[in-house]
Structure 1
Amino acid sequence: MAAVARRRGTLRRAFDSVQTPTGRPRPRDTAPLEETVRERTAELEAANAKLSRSLEQLRATQAQLLFADRLIALGRIAAGVGHEINNPLAFILSNLEYIHQELQQKAELSEQERQEVLEALAETRDGAERIRLIVRDLQTLSRAEDVGTGPSDLAAVLRTAAKMAMHELRNRSRLVVECEGLPPVQGNGARLGQVFLNLLLNAAQAIAPGRVEDNLVRVVARNSGTGRVEVEVSDTGCGISPEHRERIFDPFFTTKPLGVGTGLGLAVCHGIVTSLGGTMTVDSEPGQGSTFRVTLPVAGAFAQPSRSQADAAA
């Protein structure tokens, strides 16, 4: 019994030690908890300040990257424009050299020689017009521009573009042009020349130099019979992968090395063709070459009916 009494006394004293005079449980000491809260709050404030500084640095770095990317884009544009100018410029210089030799070596020209000189002069003028339009082509990406809807001789446009592209093609591939019996199409001849010259230059650059007889670039134009003319520009080059084919007409997208392409050529061409009411598509497989198809409305087919005609039809 004495042992039981001692145990009860020990339990009683332990219970009394945690009771207040009113009989309620004695409150725990809150000082350690408050200190912990203060420490955690200070840590969070320091982390937040560090995060804010990192965010500011990230914004500054992003601004620098955007500026650097803009400079790279400008450099690519400059390189691409220089590359495109070199092609018609070489064509012009070659014609001028021929004309100079003909006039210097011969006091009088036969009728045939005279016609050849006049033809060379006309081609040289077309090349100069091509150079003049290169800079203007960049503007078509930023604003709508009237590219002209007057009738044009598409066969003459294709033959001129083929002659100007021979500077790139002669060491890479044979060139076949089939464009007889075509009706006039809507569009400015110089702008249409820009489209097909770009397609021919791209076809040439898709073929490695040195195997001319093994490769072919073919231009076939035909009247589709539905008020449109279809032109196919095909090559036996390296082809285009599916993931690149989806973006081929996007501005500034290019798979060419720096200084060779700007990603503007096909985007500009697509804009010119669609503004005339035409279409531009591509079929290509890696290692199987590419075929670009351009459809253009026949002269008169693109003309919009007058309001009175539209009202009468309604």
Structure 2
Amino acid sequence: MTLRAKVGRLAVMTRRRGTLRQAFERLGPGPGAKLRCAVETPCADNRLLEETVRERTAALEAANAKLSSSLEQLHATQTQLLFADRLIALGRIAAGVGHEINNPLAFILSNLEYIHQELQQKERLSEQDRQEILEALAETRDGAERIRLIVRDLQTLSRAEDVGSGPAELAAVVRTAAKMAMHELRHRARLVVECEGVPPVQGNGSRLGQVFLNLLLNAAQSISPGNAEGNEVRVVARPGEPGHVLVEVRDTGCGIAPEHRERIFDPFFTTKPLGVGTGLGLAVCHGIVTSLGGTLTMESTPGRGSVFRVILPVAGAFVQAQRSQADWT
């Protein structure tokens, strides 16, 4: 075959190859291209998914940090409100406590003066003089003990930090709160306390004392002074639903208007005149009782008085004892 014939043959074959390539391109991607797409597409989807997960994780971490900061601020605010209410309560009873301390101080000083004079004037004491001096010393000791108890009650109420939660003797807590509120009660109503015979409740004596002091002071201030024999504030504790103790604080005061009942536990809401009430007392009481696993509710009839009901859980060990006793019976 001549050289010219060979060149012509190669040209024909080149044209055929170009035509076949164009035909395949018109038919679409071949099997190799499809395989490459099948491999590359999941990789791109995985990268997109990983990026989305990283973005969502970062957003959740930021939201969690913001929530933790908000919870810390709420806890700090709650602690400040609790202490502020204690200070307010102490301010409300300061005049009465001063009166309570002045009474025993007066006869302590009087008795000490009497004893001093007797010992100076008489070299030898008769049996009668000796007995009188011993009685004066006993009264002086009782007066000093009374002052010590008042100061202890003030220290218990004014603690800024809680000392833990455990079994609390309800009767002792109510008696302490009643002594602190007596300066408000004595000229307004008779106080009746029936809290004996109930099991210890789960809580903190200081915080529960703050609750009952507020309830007693509110009950007293709902009654106008001057008719103590005609009015009554009654505190009664009895077993409630299983594992709980119910405490009722009833008064014969002016009651609460219907339009105010839904807001009675709202912070800073008060029906008292400016400078008399801050609106913190009942809100703090509600928060304390709720934090201890209990409930605080209220019923009131205008002109006939109010009743506040506190339900508290019985201390854990005593719940088990009650259940065991029930099983045996």
Q: TM-score, normalised by structure 1?
A: 0.60
Amino-acid identity (%):
62
For residue 279 of structure 1, the aligned residue among 285, 292, 295 is: 295
Which residue in the other structure is 2:304 paired with?
288
Which residue in the other structure is 1:132 paired with?
158
Paired with 2:139 and 2:89, the residues of 1 have a C-alpha distance of: 37
Which residue in the other structure is 2:234 paired with?
218
Q: Which has the higher contact order (CA 8 A, sep 6+)?
A: 1
Q: Which runs of 5+ in 1 are unaligned?
A: 1-75, 137-144, 304-314
The 1:150/1:85 distance shift into structure 2, 3 A limit, reads: farther
The 1:289/1:301 distance shift into structure 2, 3 A limit, reads: farther
Is contact 2:268-2:280 (8 Å) kept? Answer: yes
Q: TM-score, normalised by structure 2?
A: 0.58
Shift of 1:276: 0.9
Is contact 2:104-2:144 (8 Å) kept? Answer: no
Shift of 1:117: 4.3
The 1:96/1:194 distance shift into structure 2, 3 A limit, reads: farther
Which residue in the other structure is 1:67 paired with?
none
The 1:121/1:233 distance shift into structure 2, 3 A limit, reads: same
Q: Which runs of 5+ in 2 are unaligned?
A: 1-83, 116-132, 320-329
User: Is 1:91 matched with 2:107?
Assistant: no
Give the 5 Å matches for 1:13-52: none
When you count helix as a share of all residues, which structure comes out higher?
2
Is contact 1:221-1:229 (8 Å) kept? Answer: yes
Q: Deviations over 1:57-106 (max 9, x none)?
A: xxxxxxxxxxxxxxxxxxx9897763344444443444544555555555
Give the 5 Å matches for 1:81-230: 82-97=91-106, 99-101=108-110, 105=114, 108=134, 113=139, 116-117=142-143, 119-129=145-155, 132-133=158-159, 136=160, 148-224=164-240, 226-230=242-246
Is contact 2:163-2:204 (8 Å) kept? Answer: yes
Q: Deviations over 1:272-307 (max 9, x none)?
A: 11111111110001112000011111122699xxxx
How many positions carry a matched residue from both structures?
218
Which residue in the other structure is 1:265 paired with?
281
Q: Which protein is bigger by CA-based radius of gyration?
A: 2
Shift of 1:252: 0.5
The 1:224/1:124 distance shift into structure 2, 3 A limit, reads: same
The 1:148/1:102 distance shift into structure 2, 3 A limit, reads: farther
Secondary structure in 2 aligned to 1:229?
strand
